Amino acid sequence: MKFGGTSVGMTTGLSQVLSIVLYEHERWTNLILVVSALEGVTDALIEAAHLAQLNNQRGYRRIVATLRTRHLALIEHLPLGSTEKTALQTDLDRLLYDLLGTCQTVAEHHDDALRPEVADKIVHVGERLAARIVAALLRQNNLRGVAIDATDLIITNNAYGNAIPDLALTRERIATHLLPLLQRGIIPVVTGYISSSVTGKPTTLGRGGSDYTASVLGVGSDAREVWVWTDVDGLMTADPREIDDARVIPTLSYDEAAELAYFGARILHPRMIHPLREQSIPLRVRNVYTPQQPGTLVRDKLASMLPAIRAVTSIQGLGMSTSHNGPLAPLAQTVDSMLADLTGSHTDVTITSQSSSHSFICFVIPTMAGPDALHSLQVALNQDEDLSAGWNTRPVQVVTVIGTRLGEIHTLTANVLLALEGIPLLALSQAPSHCSVSLVVETQYGETALTRIHNLILKNG
Ligand code: ASP
Ligand code: MG
């Protein structure tokens, strides 16, 4: 079971976490928990890493002091006994003291660019702080909670900032370090998002990576199910912050959930689905505040799933157009390596359309590249005169429709296109997974496109 930053960041969320664990502990023989850093903490730590690299001591110290106040205030309000509380405070202080040391070392060797390996080392602490708080809370309530650092368990390549786990090595680590704890009746509270390379260097699994941690631990421990507890009722027909009448989707196939996550639904890390699909481990997405609701179940595609549009999502993209035709591969390669240098994430999906006299290419900006990725990429591109010459570059919106059997039942896509009457489309592409179609529109049309497609979902649903 994975609990996100909004659940562990507040006392109300933590008391929900506790009651869920107490309840599920009675129903399951073994439970593994994954917790991510308190909401906003990873952003603050990335900022601290940046400041350390610029040798701005005052800046990173202020961030560390704010983090200390926030974590201590949180545990102050938790129902912990005085021994548990003092031990926890000492533990947190030691982690924060080490963090200051790391920032100082970085500051002494400062340079201008934020290197992802430096950020990775610094962001690790956010997850460690949170895991210790949750483990202490469990112990206070007679559960045998122990905080475990995923750096001992999840072994990755060295793509800092967005690493890929080596499932075979990770499985071995889980067998030696985690399963024995389960056999002793312990509930491991594992840090989300963080990992280490084969040589022991700190790495991270990309933003929102705690979901991926849960999936990798689930696969490596042959879990019966993986549950992601979040602050919405499940995977929804649209982002409820953008569409008021968005509804929960009761069941989705792995492919559909993966497309939904990839194309912008920030609830799940896009890469978490693949390992679960390989082992047919069901995934449940549920609301920590309404645990009586079933949420969304993600599992193998069933023949009984009727063809339908199930969800619409949108994600930022960088659109580049020019009034000539020619090979796009060199441009795609340069933009990809720029994004990888800036954020550790690759572009993954590009959507292109070309005619005799024009070319258009859109780079989808993955959510795990972090919130500033599009802006950083645009700045870098503008600085590269060779590359930007002749290209008109602007942010665009990639609106993706996810549905069952979209690849064969063409009336589904036809209805979507009819609903978008009057909205200029920059490009259109059906995914090879046959369960999604993406449309690229100017940012100003994004909201209208989403609303119209969502109305279609409600009408057919
Ligand atoms: N704390 C990490 C982040 O903010 C991982 C997560 O939240 O899942 O990206
Ligand atoms: Mg998340």
Q: What residue ranges line ligand 1, CB within 6 angstroms?
A: 4-5, 36-37, 42, 126, 192-193, 207-210
What pLDDT, on a 0 to 100 scale, did the predictor assign at position 412? 94
The span from the CA of 298 to the CA of 249, in Å, is 10
What pLDDT, on a 0 to 100 scale, did the predictor assign at position 325? 82
33-35, strands of its sheet edge to edge: 145-148, 187-191, 33-35, 2-3, 226-230, 283-287, 296-299, 251-253
Write out the residue limits of the CATH 3.40.1160.10 domain(s) in the chain.
Answer: 2-225
Residue whose entry in the numeric block shows the structure tokens 């258009």? 360
Which of 35, 190, 193, 215 to mutate for ligand 1's pocket (most ligand atoms within 8 Å of CB)? 193
2-225: CATH topology:
Carbamate kinase (3.40.1160)
| CB contact at 8 A, 201 and 256 | no
Out of 45-59, 208-222, 371-385, pick the least confident.
Answer: 371-385
Angle, helix 57-76 to helix 82-108, in steps of 10 degrees: 170
Taking the CA of residue 127 as reference, the ligand 1 atom at the shortest distance is 1
pLDDT, mean over the chain? 93
Nearest residue (by CA) to ligand 1, atom 7, is: 208
Q: What is the 3-state secondary structure (H, E, C) of 138-170?
A: HHHCCCCEEEECHHHCCEECCCCCCCCECHHHH
Taking the CA of residue 370 as reference, the ligand 1 atom at the shortest distance is 9
Beta strand 392-404 with 194-197: parallel, antiparallel or unpaired?
unpaired
Q: How far is the CA of 183 from the centre of ligand 1 (A)?
A: 29
| CB contact at 8 A, 351 and 365 | no
Span 70-93, pLDDT tens digits: 999 999 999 999 999 999 999 999
309-460: CATH topology:
VC0802-like (3.30.2130)
Q: How far is the CA of 19 from the centre of ligand 2 (A)?
A: 21
Nearest residue (by CA) to ligand 1, atom 4, is: 42
Nearest residue (by CA) to ligand 1, atom 8, is: 208
Taking the CA of residue 126 as reference, the ligand 1 atom at the shortest distance is 1
CA angle (351, 357, 363) in 5-degree steps? 20
Taking the CA of residue 5 as reference, the ligand 1 atom at the shortest distance is 7
What pLDDT, on a 0 to 100 scale, did the predictor assign at position 294? 96
Mean pLDDT of 42-53: 94
Write out the residue limits of the CATH 3.30.2130.10 domain(s) in the chain.
Answer: 309-460
CB atoms within 10 A of CB 107: 17
What pLDDT, on a 0 to 100 scale, did the predictor assign at position 220? 98
What pLDDT, on a 0 to 100 scale, did the predictor assign at position 386? 75
Span 150-197, pLDDT tens digits: 999 999 999 998 899 999 999 999 999 999 999 999 999 999 999 999
For 105, half-sphere exposure in the C-beta direction (CA atoms, 13 angstrom radius) is 9
CA distances 42 to 76, 92, 127, Å, are: 22, 16, 8
Span 107-158, pLDDT tens digits: 998 765 667 888 999 999 999 999 999 999 999 999 999 999 999 999 999 9
Residue whose entry in the numeric block shows the structure tokens 């290197």? 115
| Among the listed residues 391, 325, 318, the one whose alpha carbon sits nearest the alpha carbon of residue 358 | 325
Question: Can you say whether the dihedral through the CA atoms of 100, 103, 109, 112 is positive or negative?
Answer: negative
Span 277-311, pLDDT tens digits: 999 999 999 999 999 999 999 999 877 788 999 99
CA distances 343 to 37, 176, 266, Å, are: 20, 33, 17
Who surrounds ion ligand 2 at CB < 5 A? 208
Which-ligand-closest: CA of 195?
Answer: 1
Q: How far is the CA of 415 from the centre of ligand 1 (A)?
A: 37
Which of 210, 213, 272 to mutate for ligand 1's pocket (most ligand atoms within 8 Å of CB)? 210
Which-ligand-closest: CA of 207?
Answer: 1
Which of 42, 71, 125, 267 to mutate for ligand 1's pocket (most ligand atoms within 8 Å of CB)? 42
The span from the CA of 368 to the CA of 271, in Å, is 10
Nearest residue (by CA) to ligand 1, atom 2, is: 208
Paired residues of 430 in beta bridges: 437
What pLDDT, on a 0 to 100 scale, did the predictor assign at position 111? 67
Q: Which amino acid is at 67?
A: L
Q: How far is the CA of 88 from the centre of ligand 2 (A)?
A: 26
What pLDDT, on a 0 to 100 scale, did the predictor assign at position 257? 96
| CB contact at 8 A, 118 and 204 | no
